[in-house]
Every structure is written in C-alpha cells, then in structure tokens.
C-alpha cells in the first residue's frame, strides 16, 4: 500500500488534544444533544477543585479517536499498486529514435521511458500478457506475448536508443496485427511525439495510450550536408550544409569544417528561433577524404551536432550523345562538370566504354546496357503501350527530387509528347494532365531518365532550367556518383557494397573504435551491413580493399525535439498524451464510509437501548 498525500499524517498530532479534553475538569453546562447514552456518567459528577482528573475508560473517547484516525487515513489517500485499466493484452512500444536521447529529462528521455515501461510490468496481473517492441528506423520485437515479468524486464532492459529517425508506422502496423479482434488489448506508446505522419491509421480505431516523454525543446541541429565539385574551380570542393534552431530562443554557436579530422574553417552563427542558416564552405582537396561539420552548441541532443560525407576527387565522365543534331543539348552536356562528350548518329556497338548514353529522338540499332538519358524515344520493354498527345501542359513537377533541383517549368510550351503509363520501376517527375512527361528509375541495374517530348519541339532549351536539368541528369546517371552515394548512409538504413572479389570474411570498424568480423558467402557479389544505428564514420576492409562510409541523422523532424501533446492520426483524429498513471486504486472513499458507519452505529445503539 502507498499514499498519495502522506503529509496528512501530521494531523495525528491532534489525537493528544482530544485526550487532554478528557483530563480537564469542566463546569457543566446543560446542552440539548441527540444522544446522551455515553454522556450520562458525567452528568452526575460535581465540579472539582483540581484542574485535571484521572483518565477513565470511556467509549466516547475511543470512538472519537477512531473517527479521527479514519479521517487522517482518508486524507492520506492510500492506494494499492495495480492498473487502472482492464486490459488482458498490452503492447508496449518504446520509441528508440535519436530524439529520445535528449537530456532535458535526466538522464535521458529514453531512460525515463524505459523506467516507466518497467513500472507497467510490475503492475501486470497474473493472467495478463505483454509484448515489448522497440521502434526506431526499424521495428524490433524484443519480447513476444508473455506473462513472465522477469522476461519482460530483461526485454525492456535490453533496449537501447539509436541515432536513427522514428519510423513508427511499421511498429503500429505490427501492433495492429497483434491486437486485431482483441477488445481487451491496449497499445502503450512511450515517445516524445516526433513520429511523422500517421494519417493511414485514422480509421483503424487503435486503442493507443500515448505516454509523452520530455519537457522542452533546446536544440540546434545539422539537417543537410553535401559535397560537390566547385563549378568555379575543379581543384576545390564546395561543402553545402544547413543548421536549424529548434529552440524557443535565439542561439549562438560555432560551426567547424574538418577534413580527415583537421580543422579547415570555423564560423560563428547566430540563429533566431526556428531559423535555418544555409552555409557553403569552399576547400581545396588534393586527395580522397572525409569532410565533417561540427556544431559547438551545448544543447539537449548531441546526435545531430555533427555529420560527415566521403569526398572523392572527381573523375571524368564519358558521355556518348546519339543525335541527328541538337546544339542546345550538346552544349548543355559539354557544360557539365568533367564531361567528355562524343557525338554520333547511331550507338551500335560504340556505346561500349562510355559511362552514359544520351539518346536524342533517335532509335538506336542496339540499345545500350549502361545508364541512359532517353529523349523522345522509348524501349518497347519499358512501357506497356505508347501513344501521342498534342500540346501537353506541365501541371506539376517534383522539385524536391535530385533531378529537378533548381528546375522549374514555368512558361515551357511543348508541341507534342509520347503518352505512357508510369511503370512500376519508375516515378514521374513532371506531369501533364494526360500523361507523365519525365520519368526516372532503375530497371535491373540500369538507371534510366526518360523525357517524353522532343526538346527542339518545345521552348525548354531557351530556359535556364534546361542546362540545369541536364547537369543534374548527368550527375544522377554518373556511375561514379552512384558509388559515392552508396558511401552516404542515413542512420538505420543498410549499407550495400558490390564485391569486386570473393572473400570469406570482412572486418568493419564502428565509430566507437570497436572492430567486428563479418562472415561472407564466397559466392556473394554484394555485401549488406544493416547495423548502422550509430552516426559516425565506419571503416570496412574486404581482402585488400578498404572502404570508408558515413552514417548521419540529418532529419529535421527528428531534430525538432519539442514534446508533442498529441499524436495526429489524420485530419480529424488525435491521440492526446495520457495522464493515466500506473496503479492509482484509491481507498479513501471506503474509509470515509467506515467513519460514517461508526457515527451511525452510535446513533442506532442509543435508540435501541431507549426503545
């Protein structure tokens, strides 16, 4: 038994006062009372000269002390440890994402969430069951349904926070499956609410109890990082990064750029609440290496205060342009960084040895096996059916995609385009009302960018967005860029590396310096490493080949550590943070009823004797 208001026991000091009144000699004053049974002995007493008298056995004194004790006990609000809800199955979801490492709650949000989850295990009834899930970039079942408290405690204690973003959809889908057709089931989510879009659960009717963890939002975070060749000087690299202030007040900090651990430049930043500061560093690079940016902020979350990117010296890209004549396209290709362009009217076997083939309104005799930019031409294996549409208007385009970065289609007029349905291997980047106009995707191991219209039959080459798109396409289709992109991994996502030679094992060094040996299938042509839950630099050694890759958070939603008071399940459904606590089964009402029963007993006994 525990007490919600133990300070009420201080009222026990009034008990000696009641006893003192029975020791004092008092003058008799006639009063009309409802019951005199327990007062009759005192009616016959005469006034004594002494101020105190001997304490005698008296039922009235005992009843008054009993009533006072019951009142004090009721004010202390005793309760038994239990569970206010009546759920036979509980699914506990522990948010183990990066934001749960925030230290606004000592020692961290995740440690507090784990402690709260352990209390719910303690309140589990004998026949109830519990499931433990850990949710971060991936969902992990730590313990299947069981009533064994020791196993549940071990499962919760084995959980650990990661540097990855929250992907709560997977956890909720699993919890929905586990609680399907169970009216006596509850889903308990221990999180700070930085969980992304949950609109697909709007009409699911999940019985979710949201336990909000966290108190404030004091954080600065690095949200973007990229390294590109400096267009003004091929011997230099441009490092693009952004820092955002997620705090409620103005923040000042330092931002360091390092190359292979050596400080290159330090800048002072001042950011208003909610402001984002884009920064561009220009650095000379003479060898392959790793650029890192570091924030000097003393905030509540450390995982987003640094990020790294592998930067390799740019290599020439060999481009074969197959065209009957297109000066705009040829000039745009030659203007791309490190581009070596050869022009022909038919690819035939000439595509061998080129990194990229551009087909401009020309059907090749032999389709190239490498990466392709196809303009107003299509392989019959790409689409189910092809028709034509006249004067299509560009109604929408995805400017967040790497191919359309800094590209817009305002005032672009097209006379005619091929009309197709978007295949499963591609996504649409620009759309007309009748058909997609630009597609990109990967079919097999071939990367494809498809433009459905002849650029010379449009006004696009006259717009600045055309050479920008061509430069983006060359970079996206460049095999060297793809290899470099493989070395930039989001926390929680697997790292993949094509194996150039067979090997029985590989050695990987984690960011904390720990070395691990990975067993490989000698016939495998690809290595997949999935334990990328910690941000930092990983070093992989396979045979004589050594490869460095970087794992980063770079997630604005995760860096926004402000605790959410409710979860948004679509437009009209919200899940508010619960105030339900473990085991508040109070007894004060029953104690008050017992005190009233004592008074009623005295009244009944008097009338029974006098009847």
Give one DSSP letter per residue of 477-546, joined into a string: H-HHHHHHHHTEEETTSPEEEE-SS--SEEEEE-TTS-EEEEE--TT-SEEEE----S-EEEEEEETTEE
Q: Tens of pLDDT along 459-477?
A: 999 999 999 999 999 989 9
Q: Which of the four pLDDT bands, split at 50, 70 and 90, describes residue 409?
A: very high
CA distance 233 to 338: 11
Strands 78-80 and 89-95: what pairing? unpaired
Looking at domain 220-299, its CATH class is: mainly beta
Q: Quick check: helix, strand or coil at residue 441?
A: strand
Cβ–Cβ < 8 Å for 578, 209: yes
Q: Show the tokens assigned to 496.
A: 């993949």
Token couple for 165: 């973003």
CATH, range 317-477: 3.40.50.880
CB-neighbour burial class of residue 208 (10 A; exposed 0-12, middle 13-18, buried 19+): buried
Q: How far is CA 460 from the centre of its chain?
A: 40
**Portions of the chain given CATH number 3.40.50.410:** 89-216+565-582
Is the pLDDT score of 495 beyond 80?
Answer: yes
Half-sphere exposure of 265 (CA within 13 A, CB side): 12
> In the chain, what is the greatest distance between 2 CA atoms, to the nearest angstrom?
133
DSSP-derived secondary structure for 327-370:
HHHHHHHHTSTTEEEEEES--TTTTTT-SEEEEES---SS--SS
- Predicted local confidence at residue 182, as pLDDT: 84
- Over the chain, what is the mean pLDDT? 85
Give the position of tokens 């055309």.
Answer: 466
Q: What is the DSSP string of 454-495?
A: -GGGBSGGGSTHHHHHHHHHHHHH-HHHHHHHHTEEETTSPE
In the chain, % of residues over pLDDT 70: 84
CA atoms within 13 A on the CB side of 432: 23
What contacts 533, CB < 8 A, 6 or more positions away? 136, 137, 162, 163, 164, 491, 492
Q: State residue 320's pLDDT score.
A: 93
Lowest mean pLDDT among 162-176, 191-205, 439-453: 191-205
Query: Which part of the chain has CATH 2.60.40.10?
Result: 487-552
One DSSP character per residue, 111-134 reads: HHHHHHHHHHHHT--TT-EEEEEE
The whole-angstrom separation of Cα 538 and Cα 546 is 11
At 105, phi and psi to the nearest 5?
-115, 125
Distances in Å between the Cα of 466 and the Cα atoms of 407, 435, 469, 473 are: 8, 20, 5, 11
The pLDDT assigned to 404 comes to: 93
Identify any residues that bridge with 448 across adjacent strands, giving them in sequence order.
372, 441
Distance of alpha carbon 168 from alpha carbon 410, whole angstroms: 38
| pLDDT value, residue 134 | 96
Take residue 480 and report the two structure tokens written for it. Answer: 């060297």
Q: Which of 6-10, 412-416, 425-429 has the lowest average pLDDT?
A: 6-10
Predicted confidence (pLDDT) at residue 310 exceeds the cutoff of 90: yes
Does 494 have pLDDT greater than 70?
Answer: yes
pLDDT at residue 95 tops 80:
yes
Domain with CATH 3.40.50.880 in the chain: 317-477
Output 429 or 203, whichever has higher pLDDT: 429
Residue 78 predicted with pLDDT over 50: yes
| CATH of region 487-552 | 2.60.40.10
Q: Which CATH class is domain 89-216+565-582?
A: alpha beta
Q: Is residue 583 a contact partner of residue 577, using CB atoms and an 8 Å limit?
A: no
Is 90 exceeded by the pLDDT of residue 578? no
Q: Could you write out the DSSP letters of every residue in 156-207?
A: HHT----SSPP-HHHHHHHHHHHTTT-TTEEEEEEE-S-----GGGTTS---
Banded model confidence at residue 274, pLDDT cuts 50, 70, 90: very high
């Amino acid at each position: 038994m525990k007490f919600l208001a133990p300070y009420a026991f201080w009222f026990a000091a009034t008990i000696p006062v009641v006893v003192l009144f029975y020791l004092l000699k008092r003058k008799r004053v006639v009063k009309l009372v409802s019951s005199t049974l327990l007062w009759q002995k005192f009616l016959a007493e005469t006034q004594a000269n002494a101020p105190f008298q001997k304490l005698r056995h008296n039922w009235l004194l005992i009843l008054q002390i009993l009533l006072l004790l019951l009142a004090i006990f009721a004010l202390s609000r005793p309760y038994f440890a239990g569970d206010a809800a009546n759920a036979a199955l509980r699914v506990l979801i522990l948010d183990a994402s990066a934001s749960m490492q925030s230290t606004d709650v000592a020692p961290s949000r995740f440690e507090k969430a784990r402690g709260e989850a352990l209390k719910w295990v303690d309140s589990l009834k004998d026949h109830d069951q519990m499931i433990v899930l850990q949710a971060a970039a991936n969902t992990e079942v730590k313990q299947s349904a069981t009533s064994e408290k020791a196993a549940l405690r071990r499962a919760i204690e084995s959980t650990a926070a990661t540097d990855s973003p929250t992907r709560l959809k997977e956890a909720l889908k699993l919890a929905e499956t586990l609680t399907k057709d169970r009216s006596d089931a509850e889903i308990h989510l221990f999180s700070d609410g930085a969980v992304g879009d949950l609109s697909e659960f709007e009409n699911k009717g999940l019985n979710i109890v949201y336990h909000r963890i966290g108190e404030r939002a004091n954080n600065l975070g690095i949200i973007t990082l990229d390294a590109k060749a400096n267009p003004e000087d091929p011997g230099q690299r441009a490092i693009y990064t952004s820092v955002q202030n997620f705090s409620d007040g103005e923040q000042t900090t330092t931002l360091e750029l390092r190359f292979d651990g050596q400080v290159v430049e330090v800048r002072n930043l001042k950011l208003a609440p909610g402001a984002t500061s884009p920064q561009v560093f220009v650095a000379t690079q003479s060898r392959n290496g790793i650029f890192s940016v570091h924030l000097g902020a003393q905030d509540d979350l450390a995982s987003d205060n640094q990020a790294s990117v592998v930067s390799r010296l740019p290599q020439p890209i060999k481009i074969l342009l197959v065209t009957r004549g297109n000066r705009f396209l040829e000039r745009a290709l030659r203007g791309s960084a490190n581009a070596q362009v050869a022009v022909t009217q038919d690819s035939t076997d000439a595509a061998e040895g080129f990194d990229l083939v551009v087909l401009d309104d020309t059907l090749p005799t032999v389709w190239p096996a490498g990466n392709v930019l196809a303009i107003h031409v299509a392989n019959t294996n790409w689409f189910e059916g092809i028709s034509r549409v006249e004067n299509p208007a560009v109604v929408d385009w995805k400017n967040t995609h790497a191919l359309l970065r800094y590209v817009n289609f305002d005032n672009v007029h097209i006379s005619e385009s091929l009309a197709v349905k978007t295949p499963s291997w591609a996504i649409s980047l620009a759309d007309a009302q009748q058909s997609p106009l630009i597609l990109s995707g990967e079919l097999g191991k071939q990367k494809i960018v498809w433009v459905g219209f002849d650029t010379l039959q449009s006004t696009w080459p006259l717009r600045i967005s055309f050479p920008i798109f061509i430069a983006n396409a060359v970079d996206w289709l460049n095999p060297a860029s793809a290899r470099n992109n493989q070395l930039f991994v989001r926390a929680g996502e697997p790292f993949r590396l094509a194996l150039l030679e067979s090997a029985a094992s590989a050695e990987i060094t984690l960011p904390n310096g720990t070395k691990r040996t990975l067993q490989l299938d000698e016939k495998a042509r690809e290595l997949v490493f999935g334990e990328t839950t910690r941000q930092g630099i990983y070093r992989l050694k396979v045979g004589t080949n050594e490869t460095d890759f970087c794992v980063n958070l770079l997630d604005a939603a995760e860096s926004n550590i402000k605790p959410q008071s409710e979860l948004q399940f679509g437009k009209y459904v919200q899940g508010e943070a619960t105030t339900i606590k473990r085991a508040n089964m109070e007894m004060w009402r029953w104690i008050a009823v017992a005190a009233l029963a004592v008074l009623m007993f005295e009244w009944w006994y008097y009338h029974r004797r006098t009847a």
